[in-house]
Structure 1
């Protein structure tokens, strides 16, 4: 059975690239365009991991990560920030909010799936 990943991303091109790479490597991918939609889908599907953009409409990724981490049903589900926020302190801020990991955009197609797998492997240990 393949892992199910939830991608919370409002940029269609970024979502398409991540989905393409992940599905090509056997993942089941579900998308959400807003933080609120992502939280609802996470609760309903209980994905194996959540890929989270920080710059989202209505509710930013920091707030989404905090809420996801507070939900008992999602404890242990890795939250991986995939974001163009790469200024000093951004990585630490999203990790404090509840993210497990951080991948900078633009993603590297040659290493992206390996990075995602490393977070999944750590969550299974």
Structure 2
């Protein structure tokens, strides 16, 4: 979930997803280039209050995202 979406930010989109009964447990990985705004430190420390399963700051190696997908996908069994 990119935090800088054009119509709705990633925080608000995550809240909507989490509020849906069938989607509340789907893993959501936050991705952002907002490190300079303090979001980076806050989400690295604890991504859960925002509703994210994990946080990955940009730029990142594709392998890091793939590792997180493998980490969370088996837990939910859903894509």
Aligned counterpart, 1:83: 32
Aligned counterpart, 1:58: 7
**Equivalent residue in structure 1 for 2:55, among 77, 102, 106:** 102
Consecutive unaligned residues in structure 2, runs of 5 or more: none
Which structure would you say has the larger Rg?
Answer: 1
Structure number with greater CO (CA < 8 Å, separation at least 6) is 2
Structure 1 pair 93–61 and aligned structure 2 pair: CA distance change class (3 A): farther
- TM-score, structure 2 length as denominator? 0.73
* Distance in 2, Cα, partners of 1:93 & 1:61: 16
Over the aligned positions, Cα root-mean-square deviation in angstroms equals 2.0
* Distance in 1, Cα, partners of 2:24 & 2:47: 17
* Distance in 2, Cα, partners of 1:81 & 1:75: 15
Structure with the bigger percentage of strand: 1
Aligned counterpart, 2:70: 117
SS in 1 for 2:17: helix
Give the paired residue count: 72
Consecutive unaligned residues in structure 1, runs of 5 or more: 1-51
- TM-score, structure 1 length as denominator? 0.49
